[in-house]
């Protein structure tokens, strides 16, 4: 594997960064996770736009233009012969002094990794996930806004630890007011009849690329799509619940906190949207040539 670091493609074993990089020392940086399908970098422009919005929010001056960033991603995929995989695009604050002052970091670092994707096991797509609500709440938007896809993922990791300790692979996170925020790495949807509901950004929710795509696809298919506050009660009594994310795509949830959701099996709306999303994501993006 070759890793892109600041304009150069470097063999994996030689791909290193300084111990004084503020991305390592303080989680100071932003990232995107991007999929490739059959030689297409899926929804790449949307991911790059969000990366730049995250950087703007933390006052990180990007060292490349959007066009140059897109070219670098494609170049890295081409060098690794990536056709179906996962890209991790990272921009750190760069090397600086010990201490929190970000303005002592003179040059941000751009790192691009193109590798295989680790999906949930197939059985979870066929049978559905069981998840639990965890006590770790989602970051408050007045602290580290969840709309910023930053390198500091400790909030999510703590929730993931609690899920694993409870014997499941995913956790449902609430915000400080007790409303549904999201899962540790995915957005949450509830289906009742012909209506799809997902929490709005103001509820400490990342505006996921897959989330937005599914909302668009669902609206085009005649579903009523709403962004609204939700409680656990709303999920417990939904016909279907599913999660969306770049890695997860669309995955059904069949049990939450030991409550069976709907029939207890992946529902028809979830299955329909999962199929349509994969077709959509595999046809929209930038070709690797």
For 160-164, which contacts have Cβ atoms below 8 Å and span 24 or more sequence positions? 160/184, 160/185, 162/132, 162/134, 162/135, 162/136, 163/131, 163/132, 163/134
Strand, coil or helix: what is 36? Answer: strand
Q: Is 149 one of the annotated active-site residues of the chain?
A: yes
| 250-255-256 Cα angle (round to 5) | 100
Q: Looking at residue 201, what DSSP letter applies?
A: G
Give me the sign of the Cα torsion angle 40, 44, 47, 52. positive
Catalytic residue among 149, 160, 216, 265: 149
Alpha carbon distance 158, 184 (integer Å):
9
Residues catalogued as catalytic? 149
């Amino acid at each position: 594997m070759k890793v892109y670091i600041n304009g150069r493609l470097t063999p994996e074993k030689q791909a290193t960064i300084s111990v004084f990089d503020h991305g390592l020392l303080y989680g100071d940086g932003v990232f995107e996770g991007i999929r490739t399908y059959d030689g297409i970098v899926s929804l790449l422009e949307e991911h790059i736009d969000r990366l730049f919005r995250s950087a703007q929010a933390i006052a990180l001056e990007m060292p490349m233009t959007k066009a140059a960033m897109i070219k670098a991603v494609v170049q890295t995929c081409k060098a690794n012969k990536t056709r179906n995989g996962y890209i991790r695009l990272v921009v750190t604050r760069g090397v600086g002094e010990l201490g929190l002052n970000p303005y002592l970091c003179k040059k941000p670092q751009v790192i691009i990794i193109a590798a295989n994707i680790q999906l949930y096991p197939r059985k979870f797509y066929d049978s559905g996930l069981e998840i639990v609500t965890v006590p770790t709440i989602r970051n408050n938007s007045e602290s580290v806004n969840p709309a910023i896809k930053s390198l500091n993922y400790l909030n999510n990791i703590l929730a993931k630890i609690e899920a694993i300790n409870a014997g499941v692979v995913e956790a449902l996170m609430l915000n400080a007011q007790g409303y549904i925020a999201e899962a540790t790495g995915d957005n949450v949807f509830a289906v009742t009849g012909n209506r799809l509901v997902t929490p709005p950004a103001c509820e400490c929710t990342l505006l996921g690329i897959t989330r937005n795509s599914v909302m668009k696809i669902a609206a085009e298919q005649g579903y009523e799509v709403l962004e609204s506050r939700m409680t656990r009660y709303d999920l417990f009594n939904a016909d279907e619940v599913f999660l969306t994310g770049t890695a997860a795509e669309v995955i059904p949830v069949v049990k939450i906190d030991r409550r069976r959701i709907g029939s207890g099996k992946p529902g028809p709306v979830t299955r329909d949207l999962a199929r349509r999303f994969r077709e959509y994501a595999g046809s929209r993006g930038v070709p690797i040539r």
